[in-house]
Structure formats: C-alpha cells, structure tokens
Structure 1
Amino acid sequence: MSTSLSDRLTAELSGLRESGLLIHPRVLDSASRARTRVDGREVVNLASNNYLGFADHPALKARAAEYLERWGVGAGAVRTIAGTLRIHEEFESQLAAFKHTGSALVLHSGFTTNQGVLGALLRDGDLVVSDELNHASIIDGLRLTKATKKVYKHADPDDLERLLKEHDTDGLKLVVTDGVFSMDGDVAPLDRLVEVARRHGAVTYVDDAHGSGVMGESGRGTVHHFGFEYADDVIQVGTLSKAWGGVGGYAAGHGDLRQLLINRARPYLFSTAQAPATVGALSAALDEVQRDPTLMARLWDNTRYFKAELQGLGFDIFGSTTPITPVIFGEAPAAFEASRLLFERGVFAVGLGFPTVPRGLARIRNIVTAEHTRDDLDHALQAYAEVGRKLSIIS
C-alpha cells in the first residue's frame, strides 16, 4: 500500500518535533528595523539581514512609490517576451557601473540566480570546485548541472590547488565560493583563491550575498575589497534582498555574461520580471550608499563594538570578522532556549541548528546593522550576559 500524504506529513513533522528542529517563525508586526515589533513585543532586532537599514528607508520608499505610480504594480510578462521595462535595463546598467563589471543581469532571488548562472555556464566535461561551506543555493544549483563536481576544504587554497591539479579538463573550470559565509561570518581569502584559479586557467565565481553592501568601497562587495572588480575571469552573483533592502538576485561580470544568461538562464526565461516598485527601491539604494558614506561607517563601528563586548563577556563568536556574529551554544536545544530567553528580554535573535549548521555548533546568528544605536546594542549585550550565565555558557 502506498503512503498517504497525511501519513507522510505526520511522520516528517513528528521527526522534526522529536529532534527539537521544528521551526515556528516569529511574525513581525511592523517594518523590519533595528527596533521593531515581533509577536506583539517591542524588541531589538538582531535577526535581519538589513545591514544598511534600507528595508524601511525613506529614500527607497519614495523611489518605489514613484516607479509604482509611473510603471504600475507589475511588468506583465517574462523579460524575453514583453516584460523588460526601460527601468529594468537602466537599473542593470547602474548595477554594472557600481560593481565595475562589463555587464549585469537581475533575476528574482539570490537562490535562483545561482541555479540560473551555474546551469547556463556549466556543461558535461566541465569541472567545478566548490567550498565545503558554500550556500545551499550553490549546492542545489550544481546538482542541476552535468559538470564534474569536487569540494575543497573550507577557505583552503592549498586544497583547492590539489583538486585542480588532480582533475584537469579541457572544459571550463570554475572555482565557486561565498564571499562572506552566511553562518560563520568569515571572509573567503579571494586574493589566494583567484591566484590559484588563474594558475590553472579557472574562472572564479563569488556568491557575495552577504558581502555586497558590506565589503569594499561603498559596499561594492568582497570582489572589490580584494581588487578584482574589473577582472573578466571573476563572476559576481548575489542577492538584492539583504543590504539593499529589496528582493532579487544579480549576476555581474564579463561583458558577454549578461547576453548568455538572457538566452540560457532558466529562472530568467520562465519568471515574470521584477515589479517596478522593487526596481525603484533598488536603484535608490545604490544611489544612497554612494551619497552617504556614514552608512558603511556606522555598520562597521557597530560591528566592532558588538563583537568586542560579546568576547569580553566570554562568548565564542567563532572568529567572525563581519557583521554576521554567531554566538555558539553547542546543541540545537540550547540555542533555541537561548533565543527564547533573549526574546523575553526584548532581543530578537534566532537560534540555528542542524542541518543549517553542523551538529555541535548550534548558534544564534546576530547581524548588526548601520541603524542600531549604541543603546540598542547595550540592551542586547545585557540580555546576552543574563542568558549566557543562566545557561552556564559564560561565567
């Protein structure tokens, strides 16, 4: 007898519940800001990716309203049929100029961008070598290709070189890495990775979801931070939903990359174009980050302060060097309990366990933003001190 849908759902949910991994997302009752309302409670928000405070920024909302009024609520079609509005192409030109690349194309999310770009580029006989801690969207995107897939040790140029030597090919060779790793907050050593890739004729592919808007001059990203933004053998992909405050993904790089993706990237070919209001908000975000250098300065000032104070309390932040600041609690139940206790103290910070992070390294991932005040951070630090001592994580 076949399994019924009801039986399958019950079994899967029971397994998650018994392992302590069943997720019940909290609900925001107001806009995502440094202080917001969650499930009816006023909290300091350390859970969002709103690095520059753009999710509710007046300049972005004004441009979104302007584009909404002029261009309507939707594009009405996929880009390749009748959905490419003039504002789509103008924003892509703006993004390429900002990223210092030959071209750029916008897709619907960072997740689908990895599926689309990797699927468009890679063929049978190609070789792709991927960091072991790369984002799930990279892993899923690579599963859809026929390229030979190898995994190198996290952020290890020597292991990358070993694999490139052992698995040479006449096809395309692609080295794939996150720019900033989303769970640990560390930065890929792009200077050494690109050097190794070039020695073996490989292209470097950087998912800069958490680096764009955070690293480099005016938030141009990790590739810019390491000085490779003009390089045709480096591809940048990422999301427009974190630091940039909107939604969508992008691919930027070689001048011909955009045209290939227009013709081959399946998420682009079979999805309706981005809504005009989203395009307007994103265009304003790129203008604003270049107009106001204090945004980046506040982001990094807050980051340095928060990390130093957490370490001073005795917490393990896992060597993070970016605004992503994990606090390690060990097993998932401890991280989830810490999250609950923090929420009781007015701090919204989410616990993460396996399979999002490895067993034994469950954590709360905190993200500091440019919008947080020193009072916000001090409130969070006091709550962390109380919770850490209550759970015997710190003394």
Structure 2
Amino acid sequence: MTSAAPGVWHRLGRKADLRAKAGLTRHVRTRADAIDLAGNDYLGLSRHPAVLAAAAAALAEHGLGASGSRLVRGTTGVHERFEAEFAQHTGTETAVLYSSGYMANLGAVAALAGPVLLDAHAHASLHDAARLAGGRSDTFAHNDLDELQRRLREVRPALVAVESVYSVLGDAAPLREIHALTTAHGALLLIDEAHAIGTIGPHGAGGAAAAGLAGDPGVVLTATLSKALGAAGGIVAGPAALRRHLHDTGRTFIYDTAPPPAVIAGAGAALAIARESDSARAELARRAALAAATLNAPTPAAGVLSPPAGDAKAATDWAERCAAAGVAVGCFRPPSTPDHRSRLRVTINTGVAVEDFDRALEVIQAAR
C-alpha cells in the first residue's frame, strides 16, 4: 500500500514556495533587544513592579499553572476576584475568564446561537467563531451603517459582532449608532474591547463605556488581557444569565485549562493601575497623534497605527530595516489585513521613554 503522505507534503511545499514569491512567508524570530513598538503593552504594565509582585505572590501560592478546568479542579479566589473587578470596571453584571481572547470570542459567539453578522474588519477570531458555530454568518462593509441596516433586515441576525477599536486600522466603531440599529432589530451586540480596555473610556473602561452602553442588557463584551493589561487570557462580560449559560454549555470554558492564577493576579494588579492612569492615556493619545503626523497616517482611536506600505515585500523590507536600526514594529500582510493591503503596524507603548519613542519615529520614517 502506498502512503498518501509524500503527496501531501509536496503540495504543502509548493504552496510555501508560492507564498514566498508573494512575500507572504512568516518567520518566528527570537525577540531582539529593541524599542518596542510592535507589542500591545500600551501602558507599559507588563513589567510594572506592582504587577510583577502580584504575579509572584500568586505563583508562590498556587504554582505555575491552574492544573485543569475550573469546573474540574475548582476555581481560585484570584480568578473570581478578577471577574468581579472586571465586571465592576466595565459596568457589566458579571464576567467569565478564558485562557485567551481568542477562546473568549469562540465561546461567546458559540453560546449566543443564531445567525451572526460581522463587521468585515472584525478580528479573525470572531469570523472563525461564526464559522465554527455552524449557523449562518455574513458580513457588512466596515463601519457602514447603511449597509448594516440593510443586512439586519435581510439576515435578521441574533448577534452583530464588532470591535470597539479595530486591530488593523486602529479606527473606532460608531457604537452608539450600531447599538441603536441592533436594538431596533432585536439583535444582541457583541463588542470586542481588546484594544480599548485600559486605553479609552472613563478610567479606561473601554469603548462601550465611552459610548454610554455600560451594562446595557443588549450588549456583550469580550476582551483579551494581553494588550493594555500586559498579561494573557480572555474574558466575556455581560448579563448574569450569560455567565450561567457559559458555565453550563460553553465548550471553550468547560474543556479548556483555566488561565494560570499568577497571570490573572498580575492582570488584576494591572487593571487597578489602569483605572488610575488617566495621565498615561493622555500621553498615549499625544504619542498616537505625533506618530500619525510623522508617518502620514490617520490618527488612531487608541494605540494602533497602520501606515500603508505598498505590497507585501515592501512592508516586510520596511519592518526589517526598522529592526536593523533597533526598533521593533509589526508587519501586516494579506490575509491578516481585511482590506488586502500591506502595512506596518506601529503600536504605542507609554512604557517606552519619551526620547526613545521620538527616536523610534525618526527611524521608522527614515527606513520607509
């Protein structure tokens, strides 16, 4: 009997060759010592002494990992406290922790069964979740309220999914207007707050709070803890009935190991700091505006800046020239970009010294 495996690897090799010719090869490289404008540590909290101390204390008490699902091994006070604090921070009734923001989005969309309508620029995890849920899903043009209204009439979705601050272009969703439409058509609104928690809204409570939607029963929030909170993990927040439903039926909660207590303890300390960091948010906005002016890009809603870079190879070369000069930036190419354009992705980090940030902008502009 002849194995089919050699043919499979040959086809994959050919596809890799085609991606390489198109400039779409991706490389996992060792992290270099550089000015960090590539990560998402917007407020510089991942190395804050209070964050590290909280994580170290929980590590000593609970060990390295959670050792199982919270339904199997049991929960910890660390997990429960963070859920309560996050719910209070965002004005929601309750919240549920996950091992990643990706898993939180999969869990939330799957739990809210029914047709799903997504902004075309919504994060890949939301689009994946809609497909994996097995129901009907469709998209509407990015931030296009007229098309959203038309699609709401046609699709009659149970759920509309958007980001409050979009992860590629860095622009904001018109949440008040979208909420008015979803309410009129009897749909729930899921708002992914990944890039908004800690960076916008009252005390960094996010886009929903900034739009006056905190605690609205027609709104579900998701977020990752890996951006402004400098940690890891994900969370879903909303009405108390949602928490009960996720505990009883949510596969990404039931069957996944809980996030490590030490990481969540650090995230809790970061959340407390972020609440009192209005000056850091003001500095984030100042730096974002400066970066946009320097790099000739639209001013972002929070900390994501995405100057266009021509084709995929041009974007890769630009990012590599920045790296060679000691500045780490992101590089987004299709299929990661919803508009199919290649671009640099510069993320603002207020933990970077002002003089280093200014020098980094000079490097990025000179390397263009």
TM-score (norm 2): 0.94
Would you say the 8 A contact 1:218–1:296 is kept in 2?
no
Following superposition, the deviation at residue 47 of structure 1 comes to 0.4
Aligned to 2:129: 141
Q: In structure 2, what is the equivalent of residue 18 of structure 1?
A: 21
The alpha carbon displacement at 1:7 in A equals 2.3
Select which of 246, 251, 272 maps to 2:231.
246
Cα deviation for residue 319 of structure 1 reads 5.6
Give the Cα–Cα distance (whole angstroms) in 1 for the partners of residues 66 and 353 of structure 2: 39
| Greater than 3 Å deviation, 4+ residue runs | 318-321
Higher relative contact order (Cα pairs below 8 Å, separated by 6+ residues): 2
User: How far off is 1:3 after superposition?
Assistant: 4.2
- Residue deviations 1:285-338 (CA, integer Å, cap 9, x gap): 111112343222222222222222323xxxxx2563331111111101111111
Aligned to 2:353: 373
Q: What amino acid maps onto 2:83 in structure 1?
A: E
SS of aligned partner of 1:251: strand
- Percentage of identical aligned residues: 31
Answering whether residue 119 of structure 2 is matched by residue 131 of structure 1, we say yes
Structure 1 residue runs without a partner (length 5+): 29-37, 312-316, 389-395
1:203 aligned to 2:203? Answer: no
Aligned to 1:356: 336
**1:234-254 deviation line (CA, Å, top 9, x unaligned):** 000010111111110000011
- Per the alignment, in what secondary structure is the counterpart of residue 54 of structure 1? coil
- SS for the counterpart of 2:34 is strand
- Cα offset for 1:68? 1.2
RMSD between aligned residues: 1.7
Contact 2:112 2:159 in 1 (8 A): no
| Cα distance in 2 for residues equivalent to 1:291 and 1:211 | 15
**Structure 2 counterpart SS, 1:158:** helix
What does residue 120 of structure 1 align with? 111
Alignment of 1:32-51 (within 5 A): 38=32, 42-51=33-42
Aligned-pair distance for 1:351? Answer: 2.1
| Structure 1 contact 164–200 (Cα < 8 Å) conserved | yes
- Amino acid in the other structure paired with 2:104: T
Q: Which whole-Å CA distance do the structure 1 matches of 2:326 and 2:115 have between them?
A: 49
1:79 equivalent in alignment to 2:70: yes
Q: 1:220 aligns with which of 201, 205, 214?
A: 205
Gaps of 5+ in 2: none
How far apart are residue 13 of structure 1 and its match? 2.4
User: What is the count of residue pairs matched by the alignment?
Assistant: 365
Partner of 2:30: 27
Please give the alpha-carbon distance, in whole angstroms, between the structure 1 residues aligned to 2:155 and 2:329.
43
The correspondence of residues 1-395 of structure 1 with structure 2, limited to 5 A, is: 2-4=4-6, 5-28=8-31, 38=32, 42-122=33-113, 126-168=114-156, 173-311=158-296, 317-318=297-298, 320-357=300-337, 361-388=341-368
SS in 2 for 1:372: coil
TM-score, length of structure 1 as denominator length: 0.88
